Structure formats: structure tokens, C-alpha cells
């Protein structure tokens, strides 16, 4: 069966990777571990956005760039970028005493575009017969309509649950099958600590990963 993989990078990171030693993940290997040996993955579409330095973690953009460069060395992986939109917001203080009249202004960022880009590519690829089955790494319920339309087009939709919980009922209703990410699968799908990028550069896994 022809399979194409769609990865919401931030959904994957925050639900499955953030507090683990498995951030140096090979998404192609992980997807292969969730499928049958006779299935063939022709492409992994990986959707993300470049991050900016955050308080307490100034190395985050560099670490992310190392990881993205490592992903680029995998021929089947295609990275597609959304963007971060910085936006100041006012929020009520909750400590020590909550009061709706006491507000603080915070610096917030919103990741824009990845879910829309993923839905558009997954639907277009299905309608143009690029795959028999789509394997979706996301638990974003905004993708329900895309999953529904892909199934109505006669394609199979596999949903990958990332946080060890049962999938949302709406997502599950539109999935042909469900797979679960586990720590053992993550551990078995790691990139080499050192590798050569597609421009010949040496790439080393960040020490805090």
C-alpha cells in the first residue's frame, strides 16, 4: 500500500517529545514502525515554523535548526514552513490574588499556517491519487473535515495518537485506523547522534536533547 505521512511538528513535539530524551526523532522510522512491512512510504511531509529565543532557553532556535538540518538529510522528508506571529496580549493576574481588574501585558507567539498547510496538502495529495493511505501525526481537531473529505475520496486515513490517551471522538470517527506512539517506539526511531547533512555539513545532536 502506498502511504504518505503528514506530521504536525509542534503537535508531535508538545504531546509526545517535550519532556523526553527522544527529541532527535526520525519521523520516517517512527511511521514505518506503525505500519505493515509491505506498506511503502514515499514521502513524509513535516509541517513546522522556525522558533525565536525564549526566556530561559536562548539555544532553542539553534537546536531546532540542527534538527531541521538533520531531517533534511532524509530523502523522503519534505519540510514545509508556517510562521510564528509575535503578539502582545493582556491577561489577568492569578497570583497571589486573582482579580479581573489587575492585568499584565505579556509577549505571546502564535504558530500560524501549519494546520492549514497540512490539511491542504493532505487533501490535494489524496484527490490527485498520490497515496492509498495517509498517516496523520496530529491530534488537532481542526483536521476533522480534511480527514472526512479524504475518506470520502476513497482513501484510508490512519490517525496517530501522540500522548498515550484515547483519541478525541471526532478524530476517531473520521479515522480508518488508529495507532499509538509509545516510548519504546520513540526510542527505536532516533537519528544517529552525528550525521552528515545534505550539504556535506557535520550535524551533531544538541547536548541538552
- Give the pLDDT confidence score for residue 172 in this predicted structure: 97
pLDDT for 106 beyond 90: no
- Alpha-carbon gap, residue 161 to 147, rounded angstroms: 15
Arithmetic mean of pLDDT, 47-59: 79
Q: What does the pLDDT look like over 66-101, one tens digit per residue?
A: 999 999 999 999 999 986 555 566 666 666 555 556
| Whole-number pLDDT of residue 104 | 66
Comparing CA positions, the residue from 111, 123, 110, 113 lying closest to residue 80 is: 113
Torsion, CA 45, CA 114, CA 54, CA 163, rounded to 10: -70
Class of CATH domain 2-81+113-204:
alpha beta
Q: DSSP letters of 156-205? A: EEEEEE-SSSPPPHHHHHT-SEEEE--HHHHHTTBPPSEEE-TTS-EEE-
Contact 176, 20 (CB under 8 A): no
For residue 206, count other CB atoms closer than 10 A to its CB.
14
| 26/5 Cα distance (integer angstroms) | 12
> Which residues make beta-bridge pairs with 5?
44, 135
Mean pLDDT computed over 103-111: 59
| Structural domain spans, the chain | 2-81+113-204, 83-111
pLDDT digits (tens, 9 = 90+) for 19-44: 999 999 999 999 999 999 999 999 99
Average pLDDT, integer, range 120-132:
98
The 10s digit of each residue's pLDDT in 152-201 is 999 999 999 999 999 999 999 999 999 999 999 999 999 999 999 999 99
What one-character DSSP code corresponds to residue 15?
I
Amino acid at each position: 500500500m502506498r502511504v504518505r505521512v503528514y506530521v504536525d511538528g509542534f503537535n508531535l513535539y508538545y504531546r509526545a517529545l517535550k519532556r523526553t530524551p527522544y527529541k532527535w526523532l526520525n519521523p520516517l522510522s517512527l511511521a514505518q514502525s506503525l505500519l505493515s512491512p509491505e506498506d511503502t512510504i514515499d514521502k513524509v511531509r513535516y509541517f513546522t515554523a522556525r522558533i525565536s529565543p525564549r526566556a530561559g532557553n536562548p539555544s532553542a532556535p539553534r537546536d531546532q535548526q540542527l534538527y531541521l538540518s538533520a531531517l533534511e538529510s532524509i530523502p523522503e522528508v519534505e519540510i514545509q514552513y508556517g510562521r510564528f506571529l509575535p503578539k502582545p496580549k493582556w491577561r489577568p493576574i492569578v497570583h497571589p490574588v486573582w482579580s479581573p481588574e489587575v492585568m499584565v501585558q505579556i509577549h505571546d507567539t502564535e504558530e500560524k499556517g501549519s494546520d492549514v498547510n497540512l490539511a491542504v496538502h493532505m487533501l490535494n495529495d489524496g484527490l490527485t491519487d498520490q497515496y492509498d493511505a495517509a498517516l496523520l501525526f496530529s491530534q488537532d481537531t481542526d483536521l476533522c473535515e480534511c480527514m472526512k473529505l479524504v475518506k470520502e475520496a476513497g482513501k484510508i486515513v490512519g490517525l496517530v495518537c501522540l500522548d498515550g490517551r484515547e483519541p478525541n471522538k471526532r478524530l476517531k470517527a473520521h479515522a480508518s485506523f488508529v495507532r499509538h506512539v509509545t516510548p519504546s517506539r520513540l526510542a527505536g526511531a532516533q537519528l544517529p547522534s552525528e550525521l552528515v547533512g545534505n550539504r556535506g555539513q557535520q550535524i551533531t545532536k544538541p547536548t541538552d536533547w
